[in-house]
Amino acid sequence: MNKIYFAFVGLVCYTIGIAQPVYQSPAFSIQKDKVVQGMYEATALSPTHIVSNYQSPANLFQSATIDG
């Protein structure tokens, strides 16, 4: 009984932790692994890899590929 109870409590705490933003303002929110601002979102897939759907208006007609 105790093992099931603690597993359930752990699952509930984990779920609540995911759903709650770390910081939230009218302009943007910061969650455990992402930042959301309006329709734009940046997500950390790992400590060294971030993906984003942001497109700079100044760069709409330029490739995102970096040649070097």
pTM: 0.57
Residue 7 counted as domain residue: no
Beta carbons of 26 and 32 less than 8 angstroms apart: no
By residue range, what is the domain housing residue 42? 22-60
Number of domains composing the chain: 1
Does residue 13 fall inside a structural domain? no
Q: Is residue 51 part of a domain?
A: yes
Q: Examine residue 49 and state whether it is found in any structural domain, yes or no.
A: yes
Question: pLDDT tens digits for the chain (68 residues)?
Answer: 566 655 555 555 555 555 578 889 999 999 888 999 999 999 999 989 999 998 778 777 777 677 76
- Residue 33 belongs to some domain of the structure: yes
